[in-house]
Chains A and B, each alone.
Chain A
Amino acid sequence: MVKVLCAALALLFVLAHPAAAQLSFKPTAESVHEDQLLNALKEGDKITGRISIPDAMAASLIQPAGRDWRDFHRGKLPIIGGIAIIGMFALLTIFLMVRGRVRIRDGFSGRKILRFASFERFTHWLTASCFIVLALSGLNISFGRILILPLFGPEAFATMSAYAKLAHDYLAFPFMLGLVIMLVIWIKDNIPGKLDLQWLKQGGGILFKGQHPPARRFNAGQKGIFWIVIIGGALMSVSGWFLLFPYLPGNVTALQVWTVIHAVIAMLFIAVMLAHIYIGTIGMEGAFDAMGTGEVDLNWAREHHSLWVQEEQAKGHAPSGTAPRAMPAE
């Protein structure tokens, strides 16, 4: 009975004092709106508070620059990545259609020369396999919501993304190890020289059908890939290290800058690696053997690395003499 009476009095109070009721139910009606607040903040401004936990970054309550960062990741980055990756696919397809597969001019000789030792191939595949998982799991962050979520649904996508994130975090370490080993074992053969200019002027003998320019163990194209992998990999490693340990950059703004560097370099890196994979597989006859078995055909080696073959022959590491022309298969 008392409760009913209290409720009736409260209702009477509300009806008799509409202004009081408005204040009671909409306490923020007269306050500053969030949009007004955020628009009033200038670039670099932050709203910070006092915190009682030992995490200084948690004191940043509102950082308007974060909106630009979010817009970049949701808007510009997928466009940059899409253009780079789809553009590279398109370019390679057109190149294959116009130029065709780069064949061995004199055909397979049937005689082999050791191109890469086991440890070199191990290092290559260690880095490459990690890179493929890192690339796919990274692309999932930018394109997964658009491409994969509608196909598999939210639960499967969430589970897959969680495992992909774990793989991305931890396979980064063997990837970085592979980069360091590659730098140590291949840098001596990848120092740019005058011979590389000649190779570039002739399009590597690949862009235009004709005589292949002379090259030592690595030609200018391969040297370019090497330095892109080393420099791009170093940038990915440093920026990725800051993402793995987000307290290292010191503040949220620096962390956001590193994520942008990581994402943009990643998209370009993936596009360049597509070209590397293309020329190492379907783009050039006989090229995959170098990283497959480690041994390449002598005619292939003579065409693409003539000076290196001479050096290996002088050391007694390669069959000497003129290779016989290949006979067509029966």
Chain B
Amino acid sequence: MSSYAHPAPLQQKFSSGFAGAVVLHVAVAGILIGMAFLHPFQPKHWGEDAASAGAIQAVMVNALPLPTKAPPIDHSVLASENVTKAPAPPVKEKTAPPPTPNDLLIKNKVDTKPPKVAPKENLTPTKHPLPTPDSPKATTGDAATQLPQAVTQSVNGTATVTVQNRSFGNRYAYYLRIVGSMVTKNYNEQHPDPRASQDKSVSMLFDIQRDGTIQNLRVETASGSPTLDAAAKRALLEIDSFGPLPEGDHITIEYKFDYHHP
């Protein structure tokens, strides 16, 4: 209620303040315009043809004020500029020179080597049969095939096919190899139970008739794992014929299968 009581002094105060504000604005505008007249806008272009214009001013001097060189340090081995002398290598012991070839006298020593000649292919083949070296030493390779048996490796075991007639096995080793590979081909490595058959072996006996068919198939030694026995038996039962026998009426084959799962 009291603020509405004095309207006249409020209006007076406002008019004097308004006049002050106008004067202040005019003064600021005047200062800006005056400054613009005193210092007109002159953009300086970089690289202008002027004595003091440009970004860099280079001054030619005769010497650069480099820092003074520190004196060499002598007391510290690592910091020293002087190279430390390496110790001299140990003195080599003198050995006697090796004897020259002429020093030792060997009887009938031929000095000059005969010139090397490329081996010529033997165009006159040797007569057959080649003599087999008679040595008690057990050899590998060719001698192994002379045994009347064929060994075939499968994924999880070894199949050994042995013929009881030794002379047949020696004479017709190729037939035995065919028997071995056919049996292994028909053997299904999924059939035996891996845990029950591990490290067990089954051996079976059968006859091959003149026409190559299997007869009298029987288990000679059971493995103790029925699945392995059945797989070995099935491998043989699935074979129709091994092909006609090269000689004789029938042969008896022992087929042994060693199961070993890697």
- Please indicate whether A and B come from the same complex rather than being unrelated chains: no
